[in-house]
A and B are shown apart, each in its own frame.
Chain A
Amino acid sequence: MEKAKELDELALKGEKSKSKIKKFFSQIAKDKYLYLLALPGLIYFLLFKYVPMWGITIAFKDFSPFLGYVESPWVGWQHFQRLFGNQDFFMLLRNTLAISFLNLIFFFPLPIILSLLLNEVRNQFYKRTVQSIVYLPHFLSWVIIASLTFMLLSKSEGVVNQLFVFFGFEKFDFLTNSDIFWFLLTGQSVWKEAGWGTIIFLAAIAGVNTELYEAARIDGANRFRQIWHVTLPAIRNVIIILLILRLGDVMEVGFEQVFLMYNGAVSEVAEVFDTYVYRVGIQQGQFSYSTAVGLFKSFVGLILVVIANKMSKKFGEEGIY
């Protein structure tokens, strides 16, 4: 009796799960057009974002285009050992971190200061004009920024050097000078993005209750004190979150920017992971080794972003995901 009951129950369960599967498929069939809408996007992501992830396997192989992905022999961590045992590795890491941290020190505070000052402008027309001007460089390509840089700073024809000569100074070598290369990049980033960076802070400032300013004024606070005691605390969280997220991004140095400003005289300070991968991988055809270099960079970047995101959530803010 007991057994028969158990069997019955089992059969019932089987029926249930079968009908569940049936229900699942019938629901998909019912909404087939919805899935059809998602299909091109899904195929795109699988093919162009996930197949390359599988392609990472060649970092652990000795990839030869003739043998293909599958036939090429496995070599384990050999390429990584080569990378870490290489003098180039320390150069790449140093350059990447130097460029990133110079950005953090000199570039990061500027949008904050700029947005505080913009917020103090009472004349709306003036404010909007300044905004329209400083946002514009964000939309220009790095090729154009590089062109403008050459035009301004080149030793023979650059405007700045022409002015130096006009005022009786020596010409200064900006572009092929390894001492200032990192600062040159920072300057470019400032010119391109400092204005654009104010948007997020201005949005946060717009949310500040104007009564707080009234109260501060009645208490005798001048404009600096109002900025210090009302505006800044209001955007403190945004500042902290953006700083953390930038820290999570220190491995990312814009390929196009560095590549376009690169020249033989500054190669020691200009080579970063991405440009190195391009040179060794695409130009010299060492696919496996350069994939390993790229993978190292991406992997460290992934860990940093995950940590940064955890930290920003700790501050009670939404992370980037």
Chain B
Amino acid sequence: MIKKSLGDKIFDFSNLIFLGIISIVTIFPIYYVVVVSFTDPIEYLQKNMVLFPENWSLASYEYLLSSGAFVQSLGVSTFLTVVGTTCSLVITSSFAYALSRKKFKGRKFILLLVLFTILFNPGIIPNYLLVKELGLINSLWSVILVSLSNGWFVILMKGFYDSIPDTLVEAATIDGCNDFTAWIKIILPLSLPSIAAFGLFFAVQYWNQYFNALLYLNESSKWPIQVLLQNMLIDASSSSLGDVDPLLQPPPSETLKMAAVVIAIVPILMIYPFLQKHFAKGVMIGSIKE
């Protein structure tokens, strides 16, 4: 081992400091929303800027969770996330698996069709008109259906299934399985870790869904959390919260907004440790998708 020179030591030290600063800059906004959301409303109104609150309080959260509209939007987002992720996984993984089998006639052509949907997007209006023609405006299914599957997920999943040899399926066929039962009994259990990874990325996508909900859901009772949050940000009167517990003193709109942001971030933070395990797959999905 060569002894570290002075230059190397200075380099290492300043590198650590620099990365530390970057981490603080990254985490500060999140830290700040959390702190403000838990700050006593009176203290916030006095100081207007709180880095370390003296009095903690749950007032903003109590007020927020007494709002029927807010709780409902959480329900809508949960529905979209759970049902959407399940449907997405079933349809995408079955399609990808079938396309990964070499005996599938015309799979090259279908793969080309799938690929082309990645390269060319017909645009907002034709998609909107299709949903309208199907009578799905103001139905939560519109948001699920339009993002049910996409070319990237199919191609990435197919790439994964490609590594499962045909002989494995053939062995199962001899034991009396058909392709369908073999998929359920053998392939799915085998690919569970990978499916879980795709499931997490689907779930984040549904929870963060904003644009499609804005486009297809006009009734405020159908709004998911992201759309409600955006409305709260714009109107200062927090009237988008609808009826709230009349006995509660309304907290300042700032702490209220921060509490809403925190509630919208919490589910992401909860699955974040699991997401971390699958970053390699995620970067392929993420880097290309947007």
Least distance between B120 CB and chain A CB atoms (Å): 5
> Are B178 and A33 in contact, CB atoms less than 8 angstroms apart?
yes
B122 on interface, CB distance cutoff 8 Å: yes
> Given A120-B15, A195-B26, A287-B129, are A139 and B98 neighbors across the interface (CB < 8 Å)?
no
Q: Kindly list chain A residues whose C-beta atoms are within 8 Å of the C-beta of B290.
A: 252, 254
B114 pairs with A45, CB closer than 8 A:
yes
Q: Is A265 at the interface (CB under 8 A from chain B)? A: no
- CB pair A56 B279 closer than 8 Å: no
> Within 8 Å CB of B12, what residues of A?
120, 122, 223
Task: Tell me which of B11, B99, B122 contacts A295 (CB under 8 A).
Answer: B122
- Which of B52-60, B64-72, B144-152, B189-197 faces chain A? B144-152
Q: Which residues on B sit within 8 Å (CB–CB) of A305?
A: 119
Q: Cβ of B49 and Cβ of A162 under 8 Å apart?
A: yes
Q: Does A31 contact B (CB under 8 A)?
A: yes
Within 8 A of B (CB), among A42-93: 42, 44-45, 47-53, 55-56, 58
Residues of B within 8 A of A51 (CB): 130
CB nearest neighbor in A for B279: A199
- Please pick, from A53, A121, A133, the residue contacting B120 in the complex, using a CB distance under 8 A: A53
| A148 and B126 within 8 A (CB) | no
Decide: A223 and B261 in contact? CB cutoff 8 A. no
Q: Find B123's partner among A36, A139, A162, A298 (CB 8 Å cutoff).
A: A298
By the criterion CB–CB under 8 Å, are B122 and A294 in contact?
yes
Q: Taking the nearest CB of chain A, how far is it from the CB of B168, in angstroms? A: 14
Q: Bound complex: CA of A252 vs CA of B227, how far in Å?
A: 23
A148 CA to B32 CA in the complex, in Å? 9
Closest chain A CB from B249 CB (angstroms) = 20
Of the residues B11, B90, B129, B145, contact of A120 by C-beta under 8 Å: B11
A52 CA / B130 CA spacing, docked (Å): 7
CB B199 to nearest CB in A, in angstroms, measures 14
A27 touches B287 (CB 8 A): no
One of B16, B110, B179 near A42 (C-beta < 8 A): B110
How many of A's residues come within 8 Å of B, CB to CB? 97
Looking at A36, A141, A162, the one whose CB has the most chain B CB atoms below 10 A away is: A141
Q: Could you say which residues of chain B place their CB within 8 Å of the CB of A142?
A: 208, 210
- The reply to whether A24 and B105 form a contact with Cβ atoms under 8 Å apart is yes
- Closest B residue by C-beta to A217: B2
**Does B167 belong to the interface (CB within 8 Å)?**
no
The answer to whether B210 and A141 touch across the interface, beta carbons within 8 angstroms, is yes
Q: Given the complex, which residues of B lie within 8 Å of A151, measured CB to CB?
A: 29, 32-33, 36, 254, 257-258, 261
Report B36 CB to chain A, min CB distance, Å: 8
- Do the beta carbons of A260 and B23 come within 8 Å of each other? no
Contact of A38 among B11, B98, B204, B257 (CB under 8 A): B98
CB contact list, B78-99 vs A, under 8 A = 90-92, 94-99
- Shortest CB-to-CB span from B251 to chain A, Å, is 14
Q: A148-B261, A197-B287, A282-B215 are in contact. Are A44 and B148 (CB under 8 A)?
A: yes
**How distant is the Cα of A255 from the Cα of B211 in the complex, in angstroms?**
8
B15–A141 CB distance below 8 A: no
- Are A143 and B114 in contact (CB-based, < 8 A)? no
Tell me, in angstroms, the Cα distance from A159 to B50 when the chains sit together.
9
A306–B118 CA distance with the chains assembled, in angstroms? 11
Decide: B126 and A41 in contact? CB cutoff 8 A: no
Interface of B is mostly: helix
Q: Is B115 an interface residue (CB 8 A)?
A: yes
Q: Determine if B123 and A114 form an interchain contact, defined as CB atoms under 8 angstroms apart.
A: no
Q: How far is the CA of A291 from the CA of B123 in the complex (A)?
A: 7
Name the interface residues of A301-321: CB closer than 8 Å to any CB of B.
301-302, 305-306, 320-321
Question: Which B residues are CB-close (under 8 A) to A215?
Answer: none
The answer to whether A101 has its CB under 8 Å from any CB of chain B is: no
C-alpha gap A41/B95 in the complex (Å): 5
Choose among B23, B97, B211 the residue that contacts A130 (Cβ–Cβ < 8 A): B23
Q: Which candidate, A10-18, A177-185, A228-236, A273-281, is the interface stretch facing chain B?
A: A273-281
Complex alpha-carbon distance, A78 and B208, angstroms: 38
A212 contacts chain B at the CB level, 8 A cutoff: no
Least distance between B191 CB and chain A CB atoms (Å): 14
Closest to B94 in A: A37
Q: Which residue of B lies closest to A289 (CB)?
A: B125
Residue B241 CB within 8 A of the other chain: no
Task: Answer whether residue A129 sits at the interface, using C-beta atoms and an 8 A cutoff.
Answer: yes
Shortest beta-carbon distance from A26 to chain B in Å: 12
Q: Are B286 and A138 in contact (CB under 8 A)?
A: yes
Option from A274, A282, A306 in Cβ contact (under 8 Å) with B119: A306
Complex contact B128–A281 (CB within 8 A): yes
Which residue numbers of A lie inside 8 Å of B, CB to CB?
24, 27-28, 31, 33-38, 40-42, 44-45, 47-53, 55-56, 58, 114, 117-118, 120-123, 126, 129-130, 132-144, 146-148, 150-152, 157, 159, 162-163, 166, 191, 195-197, 199-200, 203, 217, 222-224, 242, 245, 252, 254-256, 259-260, 274, 277-278, 281-282, 287, 290-291, 294-295, 297-299, 301-302, 305-306, 320-321
Give 7 CB contacts A-B under 8 Å: A41-B154, A49-B151, A55-B126, A136-B27, A148-B30, A150-B233, A295-B123
Besides A134-B26, A151-B258, 18 other A-B contacts (C-beta < 8 A): A37-B95, A38-B98, A45-B149, A55-B125, A56-B123, A135-B279, A136-B27, A141-B264, A144-B261, A148-B29, A151-B257, A191-B29, A242-B287, A252-B290, A291-B123, A298-B120, A299-B120, A320-B288
9 closest A-B pairs by CB: A41-B95, A294-B123, A55-B126, A141-B208, A38-B98, A52-B126, A33-B180, A33-B179, A34-B179
